[in-house]
Structure 1
Amino acid sequence: MLPTFNGPAEQSPYSLTKGPHGFSLQHDGKTISSVFLEAIQRPKFYDLKTKDGIPYNKIAVLHGADVLASTVIQSCIRWAPEKRCKFCAIGNSLAEGNTIGIKTPEQLAEVVQAAEELDGIKHITLTTGTPNETDRGALYLAKCVEGIRKVSQLPIQVQCEPPEDDSMYQVLKDAGANSIGLHVESFDEEVRKKVLPSKSKISLDTYFRAFEKAVSVFGKNQVSTYVIMGLGEDLEKTIEGCRRAARIGVYPFVVPLRPLRGTMLENASPPSSEWMLEVYRRVAEVLNEEKLSSANSSAGCAKCGACTALHLFEHKK
């Protein structure tokens, strides 16, 4: 996946030029590769609406090449300016009218069925804003999974903050979820306090306990955690956090910061390619040691891999 609509992309010396054989990559207007890129076509299900007139792409969208993704609750108790995660745009999408506030299980099932039949999606990602400090969205995610299971058996990943009640992992599993994402965002506690002023109150120790509980339910390689690079984190703390998570059976999904318009970090600079190369190589070594891989993830971000190059470094010596 290539970011094309954020600020850093506008200043990039790289561009894509369409030709008869596909898109070619250019640097300062000069073609640098004979490899042609094929653009993902607009999904057919985007042209459909629900019975009550809601466009399907306001309920769920295509991620990568074959993943259907939806934020089932498009609001968050941490959205107040003094609380919000500085990279997050969950409220902006709603304010701009690009989505709806709450997606019902029935709506999701309808869209999943169409996307599977018309566009051949292979797996599903359901995430949520945090609606409360107890189940943190897990119960509503379970209802959504149950709704989808009436029409589809595609693998589903759910994503939420660690619920207070550990039994929620089994509730999600019993509903039909195949994997779960518990996103720590950073393994550097100082960065978490600065960039995630409210979410950071859920400590790293709490996340590691949650990882253990989730792996006991979903299994090794079926729990993942987002680790955003470029927030000012200490590299060694990051690698050690990834290693500790991997030893539990959690896939540390490291991605570069992609500053989004309208967020508090919209003018931030993404990490350099050199920095990310080192991160990818070192985290991939950890993955190989613990026998974790994107390919063995059943669904979700780690399986998709569109936001990262980490999977390209797996199994390399």
Structure 2
Amino acid sequence: MKIRVSYGTAIAMGLVRAKILAKPTTAYLMTYWPGHCRNNCAFCVQARESRADLEKLSRVTWPAFELDEVVESLPAGGFARVCLQTVDYPGLVDDTVEILSRLQPLGMPVSVSITPVGRDVLEEFRHLGVDYIGVGLDVASKRLYPVVKDSMYSWDDMWRFTEDVIEVFGEGKALVHLIIGLGETDRELVEAIEAAYSMGAWVSLFAFTPVRGTRLENAKPPSLERYRRIQIAHYLIKEGIMGADGFEFDSNGSLVGFGMSKEELASLLPPEIFSTHGCPGCNRPYYNERPRKEPYNFPVRPDGSYVRRVLDSIL
């Protein structure tokens, strides 16, 4: 049985000999399927109509290895957890259960990102050591969801699945993935973030990355300034400091104010809000970013002066 391993993870495990700028603190794995996903997400390399290299997900390369070799090499990486990404194909659930069964003796916490499955499957995952489930809502806009996702699962299906995950795993254990830059407005992003936290889920933010061969290959990624505004809004909502109705938007739905002064914000915001926000132990280095540019999500905590620099650039 084969499994894909992100390039950085493979280096950390000793499966590939190369240098890495930032060591992944989580082992990122992906189910292996020789064909395309059954869904047709416009941004995804694995999509049904994608012409891109199937060894990629976002801008990361995922070479395939034998599962036995990966399980044997995992302890050498010193990872805090395993994150298993999945592609939707016939037999996905059986393959996922097999992989989890092989990983279980290692005693590592496991996160699984997967399309909607039944509660009985979620219960089985939980018994096999899974403690977090990633929910790939991705599109923060209900009006754009069917166009961008072109999925077997509707907007409502994804939110129902989020509820199921919370009921099986508990509050804070469903991570709703939202990609900034798919055509949504800031207001739609803020409302989706608030909806997730109000039901007991958490949110993990990603930046849209155009990849050649996908339907959105010619679209532009979000500006860093816009991404920083949403990271700030996300923190204020997550911490219960502000609701969606407290933010200021212009006539286009763009976020232009946070309902408080720059000084007040500076006293509230810790620099780690600009780091990767996912499952415990996740730093996701350069998943959306080019190494020579300032990252959307820092793989390590930025220095204490960074908050003031961000606020000076966006307000």
TM-score for both structures, normalised by structure 2: 0.66
Task: Name whichever of 108-117 and 240-249 sits farther off.
Answer: 108-117
Q: 2:80 aligns with which of 119, 122, 125?
A: 122
Counterparts in 2 of 1:33-182, with a 5 A limit?
A: 42-43=11-12, 45-47=14-16, 65-74=24-33, 75-78=35-38, 84-90=40-46, 92-94=52-54, 99-100=63-64, 107-117=66-76, 119-132=77-90, 137-150=92-105, 152-163=106-117, 165-182=118-135
Distance 2:201 2:41 in 1: 23
Deviation at 1:265, TM superposition (A): 1.9
Q: 2:181, 2:207 within 8 Å by CA — same for their partners in 1?
A: yes
- Deviations along 1:24-47, one digit per CA (max 9) or x if unpaired, are xxxxxxxxxxxxxxx999435224
Counterpart for residue 297 of structure 2: 309
Counterpart for residue 223 of structure 1: 174
Q: 1:149, 1:176 within 8 Å by CA — same for their partners in 2?
A: yes
The structure-2 alpha-carbon separation of the partners of 1:70 and 1:41, relative to structure 1 and needing over 3 Å to count, comes to closer
Deviation at 1:280, TM superposition (A): 0.8
* % identical equivalent positions: 19
Deviation at 1:234, TM superposition (A): 2.1
Deviation at 1:233, TM superposition (A): 0.4
For residue 158 of structure 1, what is the amino acid of its counterpart? V
Give the RMSD, CA atoms, in angstroms.
3.6
Q: 1:228, 1:255 within 8 Å by CA — same for their partners in 2?
A: yes
Deviation at 1:249, TM superposition (A): 2.1
The structure-2 alpha-carbon separation of the partners of 1:93 and 1:178, relative to structure 1 and needing over 3 Å to count, comes to farther
Counterpart for residue 16 of structure 1: none
Distance 2:165 2:124 in 1: 11
The structure-2 alpha-carbon separation of the partners of 1:64 and 1:181, relative to structure 1 and needing over 3 Å to count, comes to farther
Deviation at 1:72, TM superposition (A): 0.8
The structure-2 alpha-carbon separation of the partners of 1:211 and 1:40, relative to structure 1 and needing over 3 Å to count, comes to closer
Distance 1:88 1:246 in 2: 26
For residue 304 of structure 1, what is the amino acid of its counterpart? N
Counterpart for residue 19 of structure 1: none
Q: 2:29, 2:84 within 8 Å by CA — same for their partners in 1?
A: yes
Deviation at 1:259, TM superposition (A): 1.2
1:276 is the counterpart of 2:227: yes
Deviation at 1:110, TM superposition (A): 3.3
TM-score for both structures, normalised by structure 1: 0.66
Distance 2:32 2:154 in 1: 23
